[in-house]
Structures are given as C-alpha cells and as structure tokens.
C-alpha cells in the first residue's frame, strides 16, 4: 500500500513520493505520471534545458513544446507558460525534498 509524502501541491498539480514503492507521482494538467527518481530528475533537467535553449517562441499560448515521457508513444504537449509552471513545480518539489532530507538528518543526529 502506498504511503505518499507530498512535496508540492497547487491547483496546477502535485508532486508526491511513495516511500513504499519508491516512485514519484506527478500530476500536471490532465497528465498523471508515475516516475522513478531517475526519470523525475531527467524530466526536471529537460524542462530547464527547454526553457534556457528556446526563448524565441512566437506565441506562449500555443501548445508547441513536446516533452517525452518514459512511456513509449506518450509525450506531454505544453505551451510555454505550462512549461514554465511545470519547471517551477519540479524545482519547488526538489527544494522541499532537500529540506526534508536535511531535517531528517538533523533529527537523526540529535
């Protein structure tokens, strides 16, 4: 049975991690992905690279950014605004994970 630790939650979606099965669950828009830690990190790195590499999009409201997923034949299709929001979600989730890891380490020491 899954026991989720929530790292990010907003009206755009959430990022949670199951302590038992060791998978991340990412909900964004109408997409729900189950990801390994490696896949989660790859996704975050990819969103950052896409934001830095391309800033010449004509219209930020057109779905024009394709993000591959670990599942064959399944990709995310996003607007630039959605890409930025997804990157913010992943960044804040990673920051929360790091904070919780430090707190756990501190509590183990004391």
- C-alpha span between 35 and 58 (Å, rounded): 32
pLDDT for the residue 55: 67
pLDDT (tens digit, 0 to 9) for every residue of the chain, 110 residues total?
A: 889 999 999 999 999 999 999 999 999 999 999 999 999 999 999 999 998 886 677 788 899 999 999 999 999 999 999 999 999 999 999 999 999 888 888 777 76
Give the Cα separation of 56 and 61 in Å (integer): 13
Fold of 4-109: Transcriptional Co-activator pc4; Chain A (2.30.31)
3-state secondary structure at position 68: strand
Predicted pLDDT of residue 53? 81
What are phi and psi for residue 10, nearest 5 degrees?
-155, 180
């Amino acid at each position: 049975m899954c026991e989720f630790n929530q790292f990010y939650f907003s009206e755009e979606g959430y990022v949670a991690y199951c302590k038992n099965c060791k998978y991340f669950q990412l909900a964004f828009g109408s997409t729900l992905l189950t990801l390994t830690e490696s896949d989660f990190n790859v996704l975050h790195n990819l969103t950052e690279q896409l934001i830095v590499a391309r800033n010449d999009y004509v219209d930020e409201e057109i779905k024009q950014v394709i993000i591959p997923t670990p599942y064959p034949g399944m990709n995310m299709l996003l607007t630039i605004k959605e890409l930025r929001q997804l990157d913010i979600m992943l960044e804040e989730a990673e920051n929360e994970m790091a904070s919780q890891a430090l707190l756990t380490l501190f509590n183990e020491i004391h």
